[in-house]
Amino acid sequence: MKSLLLISTSLALIFSGCSSSKPQANLPKGYPDWYLNPPKSDKFIYGVGQAKKQNPSMAKKVAANRARGEISQAVSAKVSTMIKDFMQESGIGENAQALEFNEAVTKTVSSNVLNGSTISKIEQSKDGTIFVLIEMSTEEMKKEAVKAAQNNEALFNEFKARQGFSELEDAINNM
């Protein structure tokens, strides 16, 4: 009875070890599984970054900076895009020559305060590449958004007050 239990338990472990709970993306060798598929959560926004430098400390800082940039762009981003399409033909008949040129440019700019963003995971591959997963609390982001809105309102009110005093001074000077 004990041997039957031992065999069935062993088989169960072997088969469960061979199965995967979720399909893995075809990751390049040395990439952590969370790099291309970061976690999803209602409580956090995640960003990933990677860097390969001679100095591991510099690689960690650059990777973390790239991950924070990813979070900032997820929060808000100003995107500008331009497409140029140029065609030219010269000559007559069979001697005509055509020239075509296309160019596409996209620029993304993001500027946010990411107070409370922290490194959630960090891994180093065999070739020295540092991978960083940064998490940012959505609750913290809401607080920062409220604070920014209050600051904007205060600045606008200050502007309106100065404008009012300036108009009063002008009226007194014109009397």
- Domain definitions of the chain by residue range: 32-173
Residue 19 DSSP SS3: coil
Task: Return the pLDDT at 119.
Answer: 93
Q: What angle do CA 88, 90, 92 make, to 5 degrees?
A: 140
Residues 111, 81, 62, 126: is their CA dihedral positive or negative? positive
pLDDT of residue 26: 61
pTM of this structure: 0.59
Consecutive 10-residue averages of pLDDT for the chain (175 residues): 39 39 57 91 92 94 94 88 93 89 92 86 92 90 75 71 75 80
Phi and psi at 130, nearest 5°, equal -100, 130
Strand partners, 7: none
Q: For position 6, what pLDDT does the model report? A: 35
- Can you tell me whether residue 41 is helix, strand or coil? coil
Phi, psi of 13, deg, nearest 5? -65, -40
